[in-house]
């Protein structure tokens, strides 16, 4: 679908943001690989198992709702517990929307010692991810590389509860797991750069385990932040320019130290949950493109009118952000979001999201 006064293509719109220029209207982007499957009448597991079907489902959803695929956010390239040998199964049934971990690869301290580094070209779901990458490449889209932060990957290799206890009692084990997570991420990313070329890659990272619903800002600063710094040193060395960071959940207390010396190249897309005020985010990260932050649960459970009004007020807050703004859900678009609610977001942009020529 085209909005009523489109003056730019989707790619031009996103490029303009990366060049600190106002686009024709506020772009809309969604983390929606599973929603797109349901939207196309497909089971959710397709997002994990069938790159062709998933890709075209995402393309249809993007066209239907006028989303800008900035980038097209797919399922994880690095699949954490699965990559390291855990027992993981595809989602089934009415209420499952993500991979289900049946057992973690690390269950005890001695498992940390014995943790084997996965082979980047054979790990987890890399074949499926590469096929999806080839489809993106063939359609002129950036090739997305999707992973979580090293801290989050490490916590998902041994289970968050165990990881939290080790943060205090056995921090050296957490360090080893984060180092393994970091090395694995970059082994796969190097393989990705060799396969597709660094200039085509758009890196997406999320960091749910770093939320202050779990850890303190001090723990964030001590354990997670050093890996963010290292991450971007390595990203720069690989020649990858575009970065999308979903700062997942309630991370208000982490923002000061993250903003102290943001390690990524500017501008990056920084996406926030509804827990973080957009104006605060814009003040903390003035050189970046702020993205967010309509509460996902309301998109799923509210009325179209309610979602429209929430999108309108979010646009009101975000539209004037000097570094640029993208309207989005505050996290992944819920699988069961009613079509009219998702359309209400698009309609709000069409009604209130335009910039003057």
Partner 1 sequence: MASEEKTREILKAIQDAVVGYDEETCERLCSSVLEEGIDPHRAVVEGLTGGMERVGELYNSQEYFVPELLLCADALNAGLNVLKPHLKIEDAARKGKLLIGVVEGDIHDIGKNLVRIMFEAAGWDVYDLGNNVKIERFVEEQKKANTDIVALSALMTTSMLAMPKIIGALKAQNPGVKVLVGGAPLSQEIAQRYGADAYAPDAVAAVKRAADLIG
The strand ranges marked E within the chain are 87-89, 100-103, 143-148, 201-206, 242-247, 269-272, 289-294, 325-329
6 burial via Cβ count (<10 Å: 0-12, 13-18, 19+) = middle
Of 122, 144, 120, which is closest to residue 134 (Cα–Cα)?
Answer: 144
**In 302-353, alpha helices (H):** 304-318, 339-352
Options 59-67, 89-97, 199-207, 283-291: segment touching partner 1 (CB under 8 A): 89-97
The residues near 333 (Cβ < 8 Å, ≥ 6 apart) are 30, 31, 32, 35, 296, 299, 342
The least distance separating partner 1 from the CB of residue 338, rounded to whole angstroms, comes to 12
Which residues on neighbouring strands pair with residue 205, listed in sequence order?
147, 245
Q: Which one of residues 137, 226, 301, 309 is an interface residue with partner 1 (CB under 8 A)?
A: 301
Closest to partner 1 by CB, 136 vs 252, is 252
Closest to partner 1 by CB, 187 vs 301, is 301
The least distance separating partner 1 from the CB of residue 251, rounded to whole angstroms, comes to 12
The 323-352 site mask, x for binding partner 1 (CB under 8 A), equals: ---------x-xxx----------------
- Measured between alpha carbons, how far is residue 181 from residues 88, 275, 306 in Å? 17, 27, 41
Q: Which one of residues 8, 90, 98, 115 is an interface residue with partner 1 (CB under 8 A)?
A: 98
The 236-265 site mask, x for binding partner 1 (CB under 8 A), equals: -------------x---x------------
Q: Which one of residues 11, 164, 238, 339 is an interface residue with partner 1 (CB under 8 A)?
A: 164
The least distance separating partner 1 from the CB of residue 334, rounded to whole angstroms, comes to 4
Closest to partner 1 by CB, 95 vs 140, is 95
CA distance linking residue 239 with residue 60, whole number of Å:
31
Question: Under rule CB under 8 A, how many of the chain's residues touch partner 1?
Answer: 33
CA distance linking residue 328 with residue 272, whole number of Å:
9
The least distance separating partner 1 from the CB of residue 100, rounded to whole angstroms, comes to 6
The 165-184 site mask, x for binding partner 1 (CB under 8 A), equals: x-xxx---------------
Preceding amide of 126 cis, omega within 30: no
Tokens of 29: 């982007």
Backbone angles phi, psi at 207, to 5 degrees: -140, 55
Find the angle CA(79)-CA(83)-CA(87) to the nearest 5 degrees: 95
The least distance separating partner 1 from the CB of residue 240, rounded to whole angstroms, comes to 30
- Does residue 297 interact with partner 1 by CB under 8 A? yes
Closest to partner 1 by CB, 88 vs 146, is 88
The least distance separating partner 1 from the CB of residue 343, rounded to whole angstroms, comes to 18
Q: Which one of residues 95, 110, 356, 357 is an interface residue with partner 1 (CB under 8 A)?
A: 95
* Residue 11: Cβ within 10 Å count: 14
The least distance separating partner 1 from the CB of residue 95, rounded to whole angstroms, comes to 3
Binding site for partner 1 (CB under 8 A): 44, 91, 93-98, 100-101, 160-161, 164-165, 167-169, 212-216, 219, 249, 253, 296-297, 300-301, 332, 334-336
């Amino acid at each position: 679908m085209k909005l009523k006064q489109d003056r730019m293509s989707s790619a031009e719109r996103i490029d303009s943001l990366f060049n600190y220029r106002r686009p024709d209207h506020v772009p809309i982007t969604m983390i929606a690989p599973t929603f797109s499957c349901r939207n196309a009448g497909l089971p959710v597991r397709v997002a994990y198992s069938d790159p062709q079907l998933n890709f075209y489902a995402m393309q249809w959803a993007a066209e239907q709702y006028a989303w800008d695929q900035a980038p097209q956010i797919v399922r994880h390239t690095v699949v954490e517990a699965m990559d390291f040998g855990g027992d993981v199964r595809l989602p089934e049934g009415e209420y499952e929307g993500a991979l289900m971990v049946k057992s973690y690869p690390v269950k005890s301290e001695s498992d940390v010692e014995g943790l084997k580094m996965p082979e980047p070209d054979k790990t987890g779901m890399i074949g499926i991810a590469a096929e999806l990458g080839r489809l993106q490449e063939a359609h002129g889209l950036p090739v997305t590389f999707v992973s979580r932060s090293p801290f989050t990957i490490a916590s998902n290799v041994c289970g968050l509860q165990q990881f939290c206890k080790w943060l205090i009692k056995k921090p050296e084990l957490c360090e080893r797991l984060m180092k393994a997570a970091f090395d694995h991420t970059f082994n796969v990313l190097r393989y990705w750069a060799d396969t597709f070329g660094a200039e085509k890659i758009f890196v997406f990272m999320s960091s749910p385990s770093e939320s202050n619903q779990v850890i303190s800002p001090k723990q964030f600063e001590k354990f997670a932040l050093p890996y963010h710094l290292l991450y971007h040193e390595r990203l720069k060395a690989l020649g990858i320019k575009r970065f999308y960071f979903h700062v997942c959940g309630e991370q208000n207390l982490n923002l000061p130290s993250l903003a102290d010396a943001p390690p990524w190249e500017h501008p990056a897309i920084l996406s926030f949950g509804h827990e973080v005020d957009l104006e605060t985010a814009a003040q903390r990260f003035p050189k970046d493109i702020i993205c967010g932050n309509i509460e996902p649960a309301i998109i799923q459970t509210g009325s179209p009118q309610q979602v429209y009004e929430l999108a309108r007020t979010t646009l009101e807050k975000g539209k004037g952000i000097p570094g640029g703004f993208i309207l989005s859900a505050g996290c992944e678009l819920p699988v069961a979001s009613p079509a009219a609610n998702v359309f209400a977001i698009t309609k709000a942009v069409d009604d209130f999201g335009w910039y003057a020529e």
